[in-house]
Each structure stands twice: as structure tokens, then as C-alpha cells.
Amino acid sequence: MSGHAAITRYPAPSEQPLLRAALRGALTLLFRSLIRPGMPISGQRLVLRVLTAVHPTQPGVRRQAGQLAGRPCEWHRPQGASHGTLLYLHGGAFMLGAPASHRALCAALAHYAQLDVCALDYRLAPEHPFPAALDDALAAYRCLRAQDERALFIGGDSAGGNLALVTCLRLREQAISQPAALLCLAPVVDFSGVQLHQPAAGDPLLNPAWLEQAHACYCPPGVDPLQPWISPINADLHGLPPLLLQVGEDELLRNDSLRLAEKAAASGVRVRLEHYLGLWHVFQCHAGLLHAADRALQSAADFLRQHS
């Protein structure tokens, strides 16, 4: 049965104006201007490691290195009994990032949702193009499903949100039970790039040339970037688990989330879309620093708990 996505639009936050301005300026100067095709991918990775080297800690959450389905991972475990496990797939345009770059976000989710959060260190392009990252995500999910009978969730941001969504499509194809819910923070779902948003305030992180580079690295010659396993906006979305989408207004990928929400709802998926005005791509990474990020992750945690 088809329906409409439940959409909530949050006004631009009024608190922490100096911090928000400082973050936006720093991201524009240090991320958007450096992480672009003119910088070698090795240099881009170094810039991201430096920018995320220091992050707020989350009291009551223990971090532990591990291995899952042959890949490194990091576990974030809350104090006391957890209600299940969230497999988290980090963003970074399929080329950058690691569990370490998303520690603040994952620790906050573990704390707010009282879930064990496993951040997977999947293989990156261009050394490992499609479908390596997707294969790693699917193997990790299957391993977690075999190990633990409690509620299992999957989520991710940007490229990781793409992988989380497509992993669910692969699970459906293979008749493997779906996660209890799916969390996607500003996922990239359309590699055509024809419906990019142009925010009036500008996007302090993403630039079109970098997105084109990511597409070329992830999809080598001969791989169709519009196939559903890469551009899930072109997929049949029926049978997916309950889906929460969070997206900022000031980002090139805004329309990916808006279009995905409507298509998934029309396919009978229970969808909630949270649209944050005045905020940028994956602002949730500023958890523990930016109040708006903490509120968004608390909302995500509430959604996950509802489906435990």
C-alpha cells in the first residue's frame, strides 16, 4: 500500500550562532577547499584524519577495536544493558573516512539509543571500487545476524547511507531478514547528479567536482552508475524496513533524501524525513559540540528504540 512520507521541517537553530558560523567557515576553508580533485586522494584522506582527530568523548560509552567478517571495526558500547546492535557505515564519498572519523556520531548514537554500535571499516575506492564496499557491508550484516538474536539495525551517512540502503535491497534479493529499521543521514542515492540542490547559503562541505571524482572512483569504466545497486533511487523499494532520513537544507544532496522519501513511501515503506534548515551535510558529526547535532541524533535514537 502506497502512502506519503512523514516530513518534519526544523527551523534553523537560533542558539550557538558564533559556533555555527565558525564551523561553517572552517569547513569551507579546510574541507571544501582542500578535499577536491586537485588534492590527491591520499592527501584528502590525511586532511579528513586531521580534521576528525579530536572529538568530544561520550561519557558512559566504551570504545573497542574489533574484527567483523574479515574487516576491522570499532564497537561503541553503552553502560548497562543494550537493546540491540546498529551496524554503522561511515560516509566519505566511498573514498575517504573510517570508524575513527565518525567516533563522535557513533558514540552519541550508542549513548542515546542504548545500542551497541559497530562502525565497519569497509574497503574504499579507488583501490577497491564497486562492489567491494557493498560486499563488505552485506558480509558484516550477515555475520551480526548469525551472532546475535537481538534487534539489529543498519545505518550510515552520505556514501554510508547509500551502502546501508543498498544492503537492505541485497538482503531482500537474497531472502535474508531485514534489519528492524534503517537510518540514513543525507544518503547519496542518485549518481546522475542531475538534481543537485543549490542552497542559497552555499554548501560548506561538498562541491560538484568532488562528487564527480567520487563517482568515477567508485564506478570504474564499464560499471553503470545508474543501476539500482549504485543509484538506489532507481530501485524497486518495496519491502524495506522502516526508514528514517535526516538531511540538511544547505547541502547539494538535499534532493536525494526528498526524492527517496517520496518514492519509498509510494512503495509502501514507512518513512520519516527530518529536514533541518540552516544546517549542512552530515552536521550530526558535530555531536557533543553542536546542540542541533545532539538533538538530531536523539531523534534518530528515539526512532531506533521504537523499533527494538
Q: 275 pLDDT exceeds 90? A: yes
CB atoms within 10 A of CB 200: 6
**Residues 190-207, mean pLDDT to the nearest whole number:** 96
Q: Residue 302: its pLDDT value, please?
A: 98
Q: Which CATH superfamily is domain 59-306 in?
A: Alpha/Beta hydrolase fold, catalytic domain (3.40.50.1820)
Q: What is residue 81's predicted lDDT score, i.e. its pLDDT?
A: 84
Where does the pLDDT of residue 4 fall: very low under 50, low under 70, confident under 90, or very high at 90 and above? confident
Rounded CA-CA distance 212/191 in Å is 9
Is it the case that residue 139 has pLDDT exceeding 70?
yes
pLDDT for res 1? 53
Query: Which entry of 82, 101, 158, 231 is annotated as an active-site residue?
Result: 158
**The predicted structure's pLDDT at residue 80:** 86
pLDDT at 268 over 60: yes
What's the pLDDT tens digit per position in 141-186? 999 999 988 999 999 999 999 999 999 999 999 999 999 999 999 9
The DSSP secondary-structure symbol of 201 reads T
Which of the two residues, 215 and 80, has the higher pLDDT score? Answer: 215
Whether residue 3 is predicted with pLDDT greater than 80 in this model: the reply is no
**Residue 301, CA distances (Å) to 64, 106, 245, 274 in order:** 21, 11, 12, 13
Task: Using the predicted structure, report yes or no on whether residue 224 has a pLDDT greater than 60.
Answer: yes
In tens, the pLDDT along 77-117 reads 999 889 999 999 999 999 999 999 999 999 999 999 999 99
- The answer to whether residue 237 scores a pLDDT higher than 70 is yes
Is 267 catalytic? The answer is no
Tell me which of 76, 102, 111, 281 is the catalytic residue. Answer: 281
Q: Is the pLDDT of residue 118 over 70?
A: yes
Mean pLDDT computed over 59-69: 96
| Domain ranges, ordered by start, for the chain | 59-306
Give the active site residue among 76, 90, 111, 251.
251
Q: pLDDT tens digit string along 285-294?
A: 999 999 999 9
Edge to edge, what strands does the sheet with 182-185 contain? 6-10, 271-280, 243-250, 182-185, 151-157, 84-89, 116-120, 71-78, 61-68
Task: Give start and end residues of each alpha helix (H) in 114-253.
Answer: 132-147, 159-173, 208-218
Residue 176's pLDDT is 96
Give the mean model confidence (pLDDT) for residues 264-276: 98
Query: What's the chain's average pLDDT?
Result: 96
| 281 noted as active-site residue | yes
